[in-house]
Amino acid sequence: MKTIPLLEPTTLILPLKDAWNYPGSGYLDILFYYPQIENLQNVYMKKRNWKMIPEESPPEVRIWLLSPAENPSLTIDSQKFNSVHSEPAENKTTWFDFGIINKRFGWPRGFGQMRFRGITREESLVSILIITDQINSVLSKSIENAEMILQGITRKNVGKTFINPSTVPVGSPVLFTLVYETGHIGIPPGSRILLSIPKAFARPQILNKNADGWISVAWAERPCIIQNIEDAGPPYVNVCTICSLPEGLPPAGRIVFNYRTNFTYIFESTFEETEHRYWYSKTPPMNLSVAAVDNREIFVPVSHNNGHIIRFVPREPERLLLFLPGRRKYGKRIELSSIFTDRFRNISQPKAGWDITLKLEGSQSRNLGTLENRFVSPYKFTIQIKGLEPGIYRVSAIKTDTGQTISVSNPMEILPSRSRKPNIYWGEIHSHTQMSDGTGKFDELFKHARDAACLDFAAAADHAEFFTDNQWRWMQDIINAFNEDERFCTLVGYEWGELTGQQGHRNIYTSGKKLKPVRGDYEPTMYLDGLWKSLSKRKDIVCGPHANHCGTVENFLKYHNPYIERFFEIYSMWGTFDELANKLLNTGSILGFTGGGDCHEGKCFLSAEDQDKQGIIPHGFSAHIRFKCGITAAIMNKLNRNNLIEALRSRHTYATTGPRIILDFSVSGIKMGSKKSIKGLPVVHGEVHACGEIKCIDIIRDGKIIHSIPGKTTDIKFTWKDKHPGPCWYYFRVIQKDGERAWSSPVWVLKSTLHRTRNCNKIIGR
């Protein structure tokens, strides 16, 4: 099989109907991605002290705008451009030529913010921007004429695609059959076809028709030869199959392709975006584009209305998830929330076979009845529980006919009304939506977090580089609209990331209603020193490194800002990061622990999950994300933004892989997340109420397990005295028999004044 290089597009055609406006902003804006800039970064820049230094001039491009506007202007990042020439076009529109540009824009990642003034919202609906390296081409007449000049084919002439099946149950093996039909003029001899397959699916191959990933030309009106199969873009997007058409195809000519994969996405989603506008664009499997024969090799996708749509839909419900609050005072409102899902935790409406009885167990026991008259949505029911005395409680769901327990809730602790112990609230603050490189509507993330995931708090962390200023204004409004003290707390926040990988990514949140977007693809703030300068020393802001993208330990320490950086995501959909956490703590970093997601499917906490294949199969778009989402416990008296930010800043949090495990941890009176000197040898106190049988509890001091407590129960209370006087730091880790885990935030013993104490090592379990 002959390999032919797959070139990145050098012409960007951007419809301004997708631009955003916001009342009072005075402009329309849109995000652009010109990959040639990013691809040339190694030519024009090199690493010096982890920074990218320009060495030569950037590539020349020419910018055109087709619009009915009279006098439009364009700003890219901070550079303003005006038209140098205009020419009347068709349908009362004008071609505006902004000239040949060799200034750095979208540097160095190829992304940039475009702002348009002098164009109304109505005019933008028929306006189109073009960036091209074909600087000698002169555009005129219609957009179709421009497409022919720049690409050799129009999107309308590419044709259309049909696929079967178009609806697939999540996680199911499938044989796709794609029918491609050309447009009314056909495509010329020597043209090429590109089919893109998600890397989360079986890799396409043509060597073994009985093996997974087999892709073939099942039928073709003219010869169609598979030439090569290669990766495209970043290592977590698509694999491309490229076919040649030595004789072209006639008008309405057809080709039928088959592709078999034993694995598909395990999350519910719909794919209908045909254009690969950004590297992270979520196109459907077997998305097709055509390169007409010439040396430019520009692959042009079918138009939006002519492409196929694939829906991955939930299976029948198999699981019932029961959620109780974490810890509350006596007399407070207590509600059991219950969600039906399929085997992969996608919301699924129950039908027959769910005749169950609910039973409260713990310090008090009572029958809570059946599901009748308890549903608040097709997939969810709730039950109010009143009059509970202090103690630990769980709720079991029992099949009425067999007596089989099919689900048990997380533990809940009811405190005496005058108890000084703070409450425990559950949430997740690291999820992405279609506003950056994920899917799912932005407002749906918060609805899902509150109503389906049954969280107390939530935050999106969309990449600031991938949304515009007008979008951010709208996003902040949505976040603030969902915030409701004592019911559901939302944080305004985003993820910042830089190019080199040396300084990594940071998630940033505020207790306020607004937060200035700081972008890692904008030169003044493309490094952490620029980020810290923008945020200054603000107590209303907290920040934490993205564990899988926080750079090396050495660079983390070099750029660490202890005033703002207060937490470390010890678990996410990327896996566990105990070892990295220990290294950072051993170098003197003072960080609490959170459990997060990095879910890119618009789901806080309740992401897709294959219980049997954690760490084995993809759990999201990326082939590298192979775990379910984690969760964070925030320890505070009341649920509101100020308290939540303070809990994160004070390290009054702990993390789990998902189960809502209750735990308490202190060392000689030093509470979780705190640092203090003590008298005598350190005495570790811990209490755990788990969601399954405990395998062991490991006490970690300075990165090493110094004591392990066996489990074989769900509730353990222990005290253990260390012989090491300090200074040192401690945390403990809970491991359930089913593999689920929880981590307390660390405690720092600064120094101890030694004196003799009696042996107080003991374990209390039940």
- Read out DSSP for 58-118? PPPEEEEEEES-SS-EEEETTEEEE-SEEEE-STT-EEEEEEEE-S--STTTSEEEEEEES
3-state secondary structure string across 441-501: CHHHHHHHHHHHCCCCEEEECCEHHHCCHHHHHHHHHHHHHHCECCCEEECEEEEEECCCC
Dihedral angle over CA of 47, 51, 54, 55, nearest 10? -30
Q: Which CATH class is domain 156-313?
A: mainly beta
- pLDDT confidence bin for 10, thresholds 50/70/90: confident
Q: Find the range with the poorest average confidence among 101-105, 419-423, 446-450.
A: 101-105
Q: Which residues, 6 or more positions from 505, have their beta carbon under 8 angstroms from its beta carbon?
A: 495, 496, 497, 498, 520, 545, 546, 549, 550
Q: Does 750 have pLDDT greater than 60?
A: yes
Q: Where are the domains of the chain?
A: 11-151, 156-313, 319-415, 659-766
Euclidean distance between CA atoms 654 and 5, whole angstroms? 49
Q: Does 764 have pLDDT greater than 90?
A: no
Q: How confident is the model over 330-354, as pLDDT tens digits?
A: 999 899 999 999 999 999 999 888 9
Q: Does 546 have pLDDT greater than 70?
A: yes
Q: Are 508 and 543 in contact (CB under 8 A)?
A: yes
Mean pLDDT of the chain, nearest integer = 92
80: left (phi over 0), alpha (psi -120 to 50) or beta: beta
Which of 33, 176, 4, 222 is closest to 114 using CA atoms?
33
Q: How confident is the model over 638-694, as pLDDT tens digits?
A: 999 999 999 999 999 999 999 999 999 999 999 999 999 999 999 999 999 999 999
Residue 29's pLDDT is what? 98
b/e code 629-638 from CB counts within 10 Å (16+ = b): bbbbbbbbee
- pLDDT confidence bin for 766, thresholds 50/70/90: very low
Q: Does 756 have pLDDT greater than 70?
A: no
Dihedral angle sign, alpha carbons of residues 400, 405, 406, 407: positive
Which of 173, 170, 96 is closest to 127 using CA atoms?
96
Q: Can you list the pairs that 132-137 forms with residues at least 24 positions away whose Cβ atoms lie under 8 Å? A: 132/10, 132/11, 132/12, 132/61, 132/62, 132/64, 133/10, 133/11, 133/36, 133/59, 133/60, 133/61, 133/62, 134/10, 134/11, 134/62, 134/296, 135/60, 135/61, 135/62, 135/100, 137/62
- pLDDT confidence bin for 279, thresholds 50/70/90: confident
Q: Which pTM was predicted?
A: 0.95
Euclidean distance between CA atoms 46 and 490, whole angstroms? 40
Strand partners, 634: 425, 653
CATH superfamily of 319-415: Macroglobulin (MG2) domain (2.60.40.1930)
Strand partners, 569: 594
Query: What's 172's DSSP letter?
Result: -
Residue 755's pLDDT is what? 47
Distances (CA, A) of 445 to 97, 439, 739: 41, 10, 28
CATH topology of 156-313 equal to that of 659-766?
yes
Q: Are 206 and 226 in contact (CB under 8 A)?
A: yes
Q: Does 236 have pLDDT greater than 70?
A: no
Distances (CA, A) of 44 to 11, 38, 39, 41, 133: 20, 10, 10, 5, 16
Which of 257, 244, 265 is closest to 199 using CA atoms?
265
Strand partners, 216: 258
What are the percentages of helix, strand and coil residues in the chain, rounded to 5?
Answer: 15, 40, 45
Compute the average pLDDT of residues 111-132. Answer: 96
Residue 565's pLDDT is what? 96
Residue 500's pLDDT is what? 67
Task: Give CA 436 to chain center in angstroms.
Answer: 9
In the block, residue with structure tokens 């598979």: 226
Q: How confident is the model over 631-653, as pLDDT tens digits?
A: 999 999 999 999 999 999 999 99
Find the farthest-apart pair of alpha carbons in the chain and give their distance in angstroms, rounded: 93
The SS3 of residue 132 is strand
List the structure tokens of 536: 């200054």
Share of the chain above pLDDT 90, in %: 82
Q: Are 411 and 662 in contact (CB under 8 A)?
A: yes
Euclidean distance between CA atoms 139 and 143, whole angstroms? 9
Cis peptide upstream of residue 59 (ω within 30 degrees of 0): no
Which of 96, 98, 181 is closest to 135 using CA atoms?
98
Q: Which CATH class is domain 659-766?
A: mainly beta
The SS3 of residue 707 is strand
Euclidean distance between CA atoms 601 and 622, whole angstroms? 11
Q: Pairing state of beta strands 412-415 and 327-329?
A: parallel
Q: How confident is the model over 143-154, as pLDDT tens digits?
A: 999 999 999 999
Q: How confident is the model over 462-496, as pLDDT tens digits?
A: 999 999 999 999 999 999 999 999 999 999 999 99
Burial class (CB in 10 A: 0-12, 13-18, 19+), 457: buried
Euclidean distance between CA atoms 510 and 466, whole angstroms? 20
Residue 232's pLDDT is what? 72
Report the residue count for the chain. 766
Residue 38's pLDDT is what? 58
Compute the average pLDDT of residues 222-226. Answer: 98
Residue 502's pLDDT is what? 76
Share of the chain above pLDDT 70, in %: 93
In the block, residue with structure tokens 């902040």: 476
Residue 757's pLDDT is what? 42
- pLDDT confidence bin for 452, thresholds 50/70/90: very high
Q: How many CB atoms lie within 10 A of CB 340?
A: 23
Q: How confident is the model over 402-414, as pLDDT tens digits?
A: 999 999 999 999 9
Euclidean distance between CA atoms 245 and 153, whole angstroms? 15
Q: Does 45 have pLDDT greater than 60?
A: no
Q: Are 657 and 575 in contact (CB under 8 A)?
A: no
Q: In what order do the strands lie in the sheet with 300-301?
A: 225-232, 238-245, 191-198, 287-291, 300-301
Residue type, 52: M
Residue 108's pLDDT is what? 67
Q: Which residue has the higher pLDDT, 759 or 716?
A: 716
List the structure tokens of 423: 């409450």
Euclidean distance between CA atoms 32 and 76, whole angstroms? 9
Compute the average pLDDT of residues 176-185. Answer: 97
643: left (phi over 0), alpha (psi -120 to 50) or beta: alpha
Phi, psi of 124 (to 5 degrees): -65, -25
- pLDDT confidence bin for 758, thresholds 50/70/90: very low
